[in-house]
Amino acid sequence: MLDPLTARDRFPILAECTYLNSCSLGALSHDATEELSRFLARWHARGAAAWYDEWLAKLDDLRAAAARVHGAGAGEVALLPSTSAALGVVSEAVPVEGRNRVVVSELDFPTLPYQWMVKPEIEVVRVPSDDGVTVDPERFAEVVDERTLFLATSHVFFSTGAVQDIARLATIARDAGAWSLIDGYQAPGQIPADVRAAGVDLYTSGPLKWLCGGPGLSYLYVREDVIPRLEPRITSWFAARDQFAFRADTFEYREDARRFELGTPSLPSVHIALGAHRLLEEVGFDRIHDRVRTLTARLITALEAAGWSLTVASLDSRSGIVMIRHDDPSAAVRDLESRGYVIDHRPGHVRASPHFYNTEAEVDAFVEALGETRS
């Protein structure tokens, strides 16, 4: 086990600045760059032979690592180039068959509804947020019915950090005969994402943010019993049961989640993500979740004490994304950047997201520095 504060030394950027933007891009570790260097060295040394020596097995290693953090089986995870690609392949895997509605929420990341807004045969229904922070699951229950194909929404809202009860959402979808599809990009790595226990049908996420594994990849979880029922209408040789037979005259889907894959995954990204998963597992996800909770609570208490108005959920559905109302968020972010703070802004808000590698002192200093940006 690696102590979270000892693990700080594995992230060079933390010595250069106060990094509070992990919900956008997790920090890069030495472990990830070492794994990337190893990939490049193998490429120099072995060229294409490295596929068989090592790289095909690395793809399996990454599917397995992604499965562990999702509480899933390795055969339930596919590797895709982005969340949008994962959502797109799912949207082409389910026949409409009399159900032409997709229910989303108004707080979801736009790439989620976009998948169906471009399909004229689909009606997208947007569930409103009563408080602008979260969405009452019963609001979904009111509209998910026999016309619903998917209940498709977020695990953690990128816009407010609120955590949704995905087990309840899965039940609402199941009771109406609809599929549940959760965009979990903002969840694994900061909060538990036990997708099997939650009973969701499909779940997308990826290494980019809280898993500190960089861009170029996403993970698609498809529950074991759901896999054989879905036949994506966009596909690739990675999805073919006998991939290395190179038969162009016949096609059969694989039996596991790889049937959703769309060609050769980006190998540099695979290696970076593997190094990151290994480090985070060494720290331990329970300890990481505890640390994010502790630092977030400290940040919120300090901000409120300093008189800031926040857009955050109540304690039981809060995550490590903290939205701070600000008159001029982009100017504040620029000003703070010049003083060594990496944070972000969204309309009307400065956004801060502490991860396990941050310290209490960094959180306190950030609140102090933010106060100096007040107009």
Ligand X SMILES: Cc1ncc(COP(=O)(O)O)c(C=O)c1O
199: alpha, beta or left? (left if phi > 0; alpha if psi -120 to 50)? left
Task: Give residue 136's Cα distance to chain centre.
Answer: 21
- Nearer to ligand X by Cβ, of 82 and 100: the residue is 82
Instruction: Quote the least distance from Cβ 216 to ligand X, whole Å.
Output: 9
Cα–Cα distance measured from residue 355 to residue 13, given in angstroms and rounded to the nearest whole number: 13
- Nearer to ligand X by Cβ, of 176 and 181: the residue is 181
Which residues would be at the binding site for ligand X (CB under 6 A)?
82-84, 109, 111, 154, 158, 183, 185-186, 218
Q: Scan for tokens 């407010």, then name that residue.
A: 160
> Which residues, 6 or more positions from 241, have their beta carbon under 8 angstroms from its beta carbon?
252, 253, 254, 255
Instruction: Quote the least distance from Cβ 329 to ligand X, whole Å.
Output: 17
Whether 90 and 202 have beta carbons less than 8 Å apart is answered as yes
| DSSP designation for 100 | -
Q: Is 307 helix (H, G, I), strand (E, B) or coil?
A: coil
Cβ atoms within 10 A of the Cβ of 281, count? 15
Instruction: Quote the least distance from Cβ 80 to ligand X, whole Å.
Output: 9
Instruction: Quote the least distance from Cβ 204 to ligand X, whole Å.
Output: 8
Whether 185 and 157 have beta carbons less than 8 Å apart is answered as no
- Nearer to ligand X by Cβ, of 185 and 341: the residue is 185
Cα–Cα distance measured from residue 244 to residue 2, given in angstroms and rounded to the nearest whole number: 40
Instruction: Quote the least distance from Cβ 96 to ligand X, whole Å.
Output: 23
- Nearer to ligand X by Cβ, of 218 and 353: the residue is 218
| DSSP designation for 164 | P
Q: Is 124 helix (H, G, I), strand (E, B) or coil?
A: strand
Residue type, 71: G
> Which residues, 6 or more positions from 218, have their beta carbon under 8 angstroms from its beta carbon?
79, 80, 81, 82, 83, 85, 86, 185, 204, 205, 206
Instruction: Quote the least distance from Cβ 89 to ligand X, whole Å.
Output: 12
Instruction: Quote the least distance from Cβ 107 to ligand X, whole Å.
Output: 10
- Nearer to ligand X by Cβ, of 181 and 267: the residue is 181
Nearest to 233 by CA among 79, 85, 114, 89: 89
Instruction: Quote the least distance from Cβ 185 to ligand X, whole Å.
Output: 4
- Nearer to ligand X by Cβ, of 25 and 365: the residue is 25
- Nearer to ligand X by Cβ, of 176 and 193: the residue is 193
Cβ atoms within 10 A of the Cβ of 268, count? 16
Cα–Cα distance measured from residue 351 to residue 157, given in angstroms and rounded to the nearest whole number: 13
| DSSP designation for 51 | I
308 phi, psi to nearest 5 deg: -80, 145
Instruction: Quote the least distance from Cβ 112 to ligand X, whole Å.
Output: 7
- Nearer to ligand X by Cβ, of 350 and 367: the residue is 350
Instruction: Quote the least distance from Cβ 158 to ligand X, whole Å.
Output: 4
Cα–Cα distance measured from residue 240 to residue 228, given in angstroms and rounded to the nearest whole number: 13
- Nearer to ligand X by Cβ, of 23 and 170: the residue is 23
- Nearer to ligand X by Cβ, of 110 and 228: the residue is 110
Cα–Cα distance measured from residue 26 to residue 20, given in angstroms and rounded to the nearest whole number: 9
